[in-house]
Structure 1
Amino acid sequence: MEPRFQPDRLWPTGHRQLQLMIIPDLDGNPGLAELVAACRAVMAAHPATTQPVPDESLHLTVQAVFRPGHGDVDQPTRARLIEALAPELAAVPAFEMLIGSPLAYHRGVVADTHHDDGFNHLLDRARRVIARICGPDAIAYDSRPAHMALCYADGRGSSDELQRQLRHHVRPSHASLTVTAVDLVETVQVPQRCRYDSTVLRRFSLSSRTEPSATSTVCEAVI
């Protein structure tokens, strides 16, 4: 393993990345909270994973929004994007997915996902809206397969050994996550803490699995 935040991977000073993400509710998904805690206990003993992603920064990226050659997404475009996303996402059914097993790779640890048809459906609908409002280049990045970063490496060490420890000591190696909302956020890099921090701009509730989508809250202002 090697450090994630090397000079060639740093964002320009002051850059704030607009993106849609799922912020997991650990209180509402206790099995996931236990999985994350178990992974952290293993990672704490490895020289390259001493700064795991804290609870408040855990996320699954749905879609990063780019504007090549135009800098950050301006406020008028954001307003149009929010207006277009609200009814689209309100029609997407809430869903469950399986988080895990944890996978160690050369620059960190991620939790893999399974049963992710709901995620892919959400992503496809969001991508169509973003491309229509911001242009096709805005969706150049495709987040599939879905994943949740548990740690970005802050040192060097054997990823094989870390993977062995994760496999032997994190049991069960997966947990369920219920997804009922998706957030539009501004994300910044925090290299000194080996993480990405996000500010929620809007929370979009998904359609209830037991009630018609017309009864769902379309969009809640968070800030």
Structure 2
Amino acid sequence: MRSAFEGERRWPGGHKELTLLAVPDLHRDAATGTGSRLATLLDGVRTVVSPFPGTSTPVPDAGLHVTIQPINHGLYDTPPIGRTTVTKLVDDLTILLRDRPAFPLWMGSPVIGQRGIVLDHEPLSDGPFDDSPEDPFSDLVDDVRTVIARVCGPGAIGHDTRPCHMALVYASCDQETEDFSSVLRRVRPSHAFVMVRTLVLAWVRQSPTECCYQWKVVKRFQLTEHTGTSPAGRARSGRDEHSPALPLLQPASPRRRAAERKA
């Protein structure tokens, strides 16, 4: 694992990027060891990796996020987006997100990458015969990118954040991972839902000393609650947010499938 904030990965001093983020609610009582299934997963990962120098500063709760879309990512010579453009972008995103339902991301297990540890997203399925599960995250990214390209220009969306992921640790220095990789595999729970309810448009900066990204909110958007009928639909509404396993419909019995074909 290599340092996440060195070389070409380090932003110039003072650089900031306007970015749309999803921020999770961990349902904590303000103390470690409390909160949702996601919070428990995070605490387990932090316990495993914190003793090692390269991963001794995991991303704090306040820095956790899923990036929807950065604007002008890595274009260090591009002038900052002006206030008028930001206002127009806020107005158009407000229209886009006004009636959009909240949805969950099924995340896990923790993956050791080149520059940190992340949770990757697996689209929810309504059963083993569902070959094309819904992916509301990708739909959201596509719609947001369309709005940003219209307001800020097509060059503003040169970077695509997919596949969806949440960083748990950014490496502060080069670190061998053999010492904790096998222990990391034993962290339980290894998967959890991340409910996408709150989005923020924010000015984001790197904070290498804190090993995370920090931001100043421009506008907060709240997605609407929606109740589904299937188990996966209930998960999309948030009611199964703390459930111990990914809810899947069971496949129909051979007798039932035969009856359905005759009907």
> Which category of TM-score, normalised to the shorter sequence, fits these structures?
0.7 to 0.9
- 2:167 is equivalent to residue 149 of structure 1: yes
| Matched residue type, 2:59 | V
Stretches of structure 1 that go unaligned for 5 or more consecutive residues are 212-223
Q: Pick from 78, 83, 86 the counterpart of residue 94 of structure 2.
A: 86
Instruction: Look up the match of 1:75.
Output: 83
Partner secondary structure for residue 185 of structure 2? helix
Instruction: Look up the match of 1:126.
Output: 144
CA distance in 1, matches of 2:78, 2:8: 21
CA distance in 2, matches of 1:157, 1:36: 20
8 Å CA contact 1:15, 1:72 repeated in 2: no
| Matched residue type, 1:49 | T
Q: Deviations over 1:78-135 (max 9, x none)?
A: 0010011101012322101112111112211111112261211111111110010011
Give 1:158 deviation, angstroms.
2.1
8 Å CA contact 1:104, 1:162 repeated in 2: no
The TM-score with structure 1 as length reference comes to 0.88
Instruction: Look up the match of 2:106.
Output: 98
- 2:33 is equivalent to residue 45 of structure 1: no
Instruction: Look up the match of 1:62.
Output: 68
8 Å CA contact 2:101, 2:226 repeated in 1: yes
CA distance in 2, matches of 1:184, 1:95: 18
| Matched residue type, 1:79 | T
Aligned residues: 210
Partner secondary structure for residue 84 of structure 2? helix
8 Å CA contact 1:103, 1:163 repeated in 2: no
Give 1:10 deviation, angstroms.
1.7
Partner secondary structure for residue 193 of structure 1? coil
Instruction: Look up the match of 2:193.
Output: 176
Give 1:209 deviation, angstroms.
0.8
Q: Deviations over 1:14-52 (max 9, x none)?
A: 111100001111117611111111000011133320010
Q: Deviations over 1:159-201 (max 9, x none)?
A: 3443322112x11201112221211011111111211111111
Give 1:210 deviation, angstroms.
4.2
| Matched residue type, 1:144 | R
CA distance in 2, matches of 1:122, 1:136: 17
What percent of counterpart residues are identical?
Answer: 40
- 2:172 is equivalent to residue 166 of structure 1: no
CA root-mean-square deviation:
1.9
